[in-house]
Amino acid sequence: MRQIRTKISDLKKRARDQRGVTLIEMLAVVVILAILAAVGVPIVLAQIQKARVNTDKSNEQLIADALQRAEYDYQSNSTNQGSLYISTPGAINGNTAQISNGTNTTAVYSYLLNGSFSGNGTGYITSIPNPQSQTGNFSIVANLPSGYSGPSVTFTYPSNTNGTMQTWYVDIQ
């Protein structure tokens, strides 16, 4: 019995000697975590936005490359006379931006997906992506709006049936 009492008193003594975390220590940890969060969150958010802008630049380059492949293929086909040209600039996701060969005109979107005016070809792109860094659509424009600071890609493409090359931009509007 005496041994049990001794063991119980030893356990009580050990329990009293153990200390927990004080309120001051806990507040210090919370303050340190708040400082780390205040510094780290803006950096992470900036990196996320930078990644979105880079994704948009890559997608714009993809669209411009597909247009240039379409022009090259059209000109190198021996049965085609002339060239493709941008007949109406505007938003690509829809019917605003138009491409023409002088006889037929269709939406740039449709031509890039189908690879022909009739819709019976193999496309140059599987889909037109949506912008990640801002709202709107990818557009083809002759001049960037003044003060525009978003992602854009420059490419040259005929602007009329006699093959005059023009500088175009793919941007988000």
Whole-angstrom distance, CA of residue 103 vs CA of residue 81? 11
In degrees and rounded to multiples of 5, residue 83 shows phi and psi of -150, 165
* pLDDT tens-digit map of 127-137: 889 999 988 89
Beta-carbon contacts of residue 123 (< 8 Å; ≥ 6 apart)? 112, 113, 114, 115
* pLDDT tens-digit map of 14-64: 777 666 778 898 999 999 999 999 999 999 999 999 999 999 999 999 999
Higher per-residue pLDDT: 122 or 30: 30
Q: What is the model's pLDDT at position 66?
A: 92
Whether the pLDDT of residue 163 is over 70: the answer is no
Q: What is the model's pLDDT at position 10?
A: 81
The single residue listed with the structure tokens 């303050």 is 31
Q: What is the model's pLDDT at position 158?
A: 82
Q: Is 32 exposed, middle or buried (0-12, 13-18, 19+ CB in 10 A)?
A: exposed
Whole-angstrom distance, CA of residue 28 vs CA of residue 157? 62
Whether the pLDDT of residue 148 is over 70: the answer is yes
Whole-angstrom distance, CA of residue 67 vs CA of residue 113? 11
The single residue listed with the structure tokens 């505007």 is 90
Write down the domain spans for the chain: 23-172
Q: What is the model's pLDDT at position 32?
A: 95
Q: What is the model's pLDDT at position 84?
A: 85
* pLDDT tens-digit map of 78-113: 676 677 888 889 999 888 999 988 888 899 999 999
